[in-house]
Amino acid sequence: MKLKPFIKTNSKGTVAAGSLVFTYNKPSIGTWKNVAADALPSIQSFPPWKVVTGGVAGDGRVFKDVNDDKTTFTFVGPGDSQSTGWVYIKKYCAVETAFSIPYRWTSFDTGGEGIDYDWPVYWNSVQEPTGIPSDITPKVDYTPTSGTWNFTVPAGQWFALGIYSTDSCCGRGFLETDIDFEPVLPSFSLASTDFTTFGWGTGVTPNGTLGFTTDGLQPAGAALYAPNTFVGTKLTDIQTFFTDNRLLTNSTGYIFNVTWGAGSSISRGKVLLATSGTELLIAPIYTGNNNWQTPGQNNFAIASVAGTFNFPATFSLYSPTTAQGTSWC
């Protein structure tokens, strides 16, 4: 006796993404349907994702729980012909984007447990995908299987993910994914060995080049730590980072995300950061209000935060780019 795929539905027939199970008999608790793609509704858009189906066998489907889960998709592959078919979702990546996608895959094609007829695919392309996948390389080695796909899509490209079938007559492929993605923000790092001298502002106690402590009583424009006399090419690297990302090097403060080194009282946060001449200006900021999100402010209108901050630190440009003032103490 062969396992059968079932998907959970509500009283209106809405499919709950992530509910795909394989069992000999229908589950006894809840409302379940034996999967039959041609009997279920075809939804063509899950913003920001769009669904594409095609081929001689064009009856593939994609389901998502619109009431709850916002990232889990269930793909039901083509299954009504002896020829090729595909179903996939696509998304445009305006900026470089990192994806992490846990998946579960199986096929019920009578060809066996291999990937001779049905398999999951994903790819990225400059042109918007509209038809047959431009890369039909199988992304698994066997059926059934599970794991996680991790990769990065360059800025200005499309990403697509789904199922491709070469012989969809004798059993469907099934794919479940949790899609997690986030923009890859430009960043640079600074270690205690990257500079030999430094300055500091009001309410700041330096610990040499290892880091510094702030009392949180001063505005960000005053509570700064300023590394200078950089080692090797570090100053040039920082200046190049600014110009490459269209940031001014005239003491204009920009909001950056930051990850601080071991022993810091705040491991992750935000800073007001600028470069001018031969020094870098760094001021950890308070984010308990939204004041820092308004661009074009005087740096003394943004609150600092109390804490101990150690190097090495990694600074990634906050998105959207938020430029503040040029005044520092």
pLDDT digits (tens, 9 = 90+) for 167-206: 767 777 889 898 988 888 889 999 999 999 999 999 999 9
From CA 87, how far away is CA 157, in angstroms rounded?
19
Same domain flag for 207 and 142: no
Residue 322 falls within a domain, yes or no?
Answer: no
Tokens representing 11 are 């009283």
pLDDT of residue 37: 45
From CA 295, how far away is CA 325, in angstroms rounded?
8
Same domain flag for 113 and 138: yes
Same domain flag for 54 and 85: yes
pLDDT of residue 42: 53
Same domain flag for 139 and 205: no
Same domain flag for 127 and 10: yes
Task: Tell me the H-state helices in the chain.
Answer: 234-244
Burial of 44 (0-12, 13-18, 19+ CB in 10 A): exposed
> Is the distance from CB of 91 to CB of 47 less than 8 angstroms?
no
Q: Considering Cα of 133, then 136, then 139, then 144, what sign does the dihedral take?
A: positive
Residue 327 falls within a domain, yes or no?
Answer: no
Q: Find the CATH number of the domain harbouring 92.
A: 2.60.120
Q: Considering Cα of 280, then 286, then 290, then 291, what sign does the dihedral take?
A: negative
From CA 73, how far away is CA 87, in angstroms rounded?
12
Let me know how many helices (H) and strands (E) the chain has, helices first.
1, 24
pTM for this predicted structure: 0.62
Same domain flag for 73 and 140: yes
Task: Tell me the pLDDT of the chain averaged across its residues.
Answer: 87
pLDDT of residue 110: 59
Same domain flag for 132 and 118: yes
Same domain flag for 175 and 195: no
Domain boundary among 148, 183, 218: 183
Same domain flag for 17 and 122: yes
Domain boundary among 133, 158, 183: 183
Burial of 239 (0-12, 13-18, 19+ CB in 10 A): middle
Same domain flag for 77 and 99: yes
Integer angstrom CA distances of residue 296 from 118, 249, 260, 272: 54, 15, 26, 12
Burial of 98 (0-12, 13-18, 19+ CB in 10 A): middle
Domain boundary among 183, 203, 237: 183
Please identify every stretch of the chain with a pLDDT value under 70, giving residue numbers as ranges.
1-5, 12-23, 33-43, 65-70, 110-114, 168
From CA 172, how far away is CA 25, in angstroms rounded?
18
Residue 292 falls within a domain, yes or no?
Answer: yes
Which residues make Cβ contacts (< 8 Å) with residue 77, sequence separation at least 6?
37, 60, 85, 87, 107, 118, 163, 165, 168, 172, 173, 174, 175
Taking Cα atoms as reference points, which of 180, 171, 225, 227 lies closest to residue 203? Answer: 225
Residue 41 falls within a domain, yes or no?
Answer: yes
Same domain flag for 167 and 218: no
3-state secondary structure of 30: coil
Same domain flag for 263 and 282: yes
Q: Which residue has the tokens 């090419």?
A: 233
pLDDT of residue 39: 44
pLDDT of residue 113: 56
**Which residues partner with 97 through β-bridges?**
153, 183
The count of domains in the chain is 2
Q: What residues make up the domain containing 194?
A: 187-317
pLDDT of residue 242: 94
pLDDT of residue 229: 97
pLDDT digits (tens, 9 = 90+) for 265-294: 999 999 999 999 899 999 999 999 988 999
